[in-house]
Amino acid sequence: MAELQKSNKMFGGWNRRYSHESRELGCAMTFTVFYPPAAESGKVPVIYYLSGLTCTDENVIQKSGIQRKAAEEGVAIIAPDTSPRGLNIPGESDSWDFGVGAGFYLNATQPTWKNWRMYDYISKELPSVLQSFKELDASNAAIMGHSMGGHGALTLGLRNPQLYKSISAFSPICNPIQVPWGQKAFSGYLGDNQEEWKQYDATELVQSYSGPPRSILIDVGTADDFLEKQLKPENFAKAAAAHGGSSVKLQLRMQDGYDHSYFFMSTFVDDHVAFHAKALKGAQ
């Protein structure tokens, strides 16, 4: 049972932040829902927004302005946290890109990090919690994210096409097994068997995608400091073109002069909400 922590009206709808005890993660978790005005008169579809390294559920809620277009389109925004918190695991806060705030949307297999099961939390437990929210049609969902959350959106979306009608990402870590952020996280959470890593790598996953046709929108800034070393969108685009065939329709937009920040994300967020709303409304 989720408990309401606070509520703020915005663009005719409501940001409502909840907490609940997560069985999957073994700790209390928070998430925020933006309810559009349309939720007052019937169930609305949902867009999951996955945040990046060091973030919580509040980053997108407070910085992006995503609510304006969501209110217009009549879709809810679901913003979960990025990792377990409060477990006091030795080393959990030693670095900003591993541990607390850095769950990487996977199910850890290493004993120390056994509670880091954000993949199952996002794909199974949180949707189950949302089933009791009478305003939401959690069965009609899309997924998007930023940076580490863009990685999560791509991998969750490609592996679970039955759960998400569309996928989009800002500045995603597209090929984590080939970059320092991913290598650090995957070796720590999953161990040294790199074959195990591939199930959480979007570039690897798109090569074997065999689900229903799926549209993917990705925006990346050309002035992103992490573009060459950490993101590798060109690897994902090549794999999608070579192996996705007619099943994966990728739109990769390189936005001139933009960086990795929420200044960039907020500039193009309306496009992403409209992209998902089209897919979600087509499913109704």
Catalytic residues: 147, 224, 260
Beta-strand (E) ranges in the chain?
Answer: 3-10, 13-22, 27-35, 44-50, 76-80, 136-146, 167-170, 214-221, 248-255
Give the residue carrying structure tokens 């559009």.
36
Residue 24, token pair as written in the block: 């999957």
How many CA atoms, within 13 angstroms, populate the side-chain half-sphere of residue 69? 17
CB-CB contact of 202 with 174 (8 Å)? yes
How are strands ordered across the β-sheet holding 13-22?
Answer: 3-10, 13-22, 27-35, 76-80, 44-50, 136-146, 167-170, 214-221, 248-255
Count Cβ atoms within 10 A of the Cβ of residue 215 and give its class: 0-12 exposed, 13-18 middle, 19 or more buried: middle
User: What is d(CA 52, CA 87) in angstroms, rounded to the nearest whole number?
Assistant: 20
Q: How many residues does the chain have?
A: 284
Alpha-carbon distance 103 to 114, whole Å? 11
> Which DSSP state fits 11?
T
Cβ-count burial of 252 within 10 angstroms (0-12 exposed, 13-18 middle, 19+ buried)? middle
Q: H or E element: which one contains 233?
A: helix 233-239
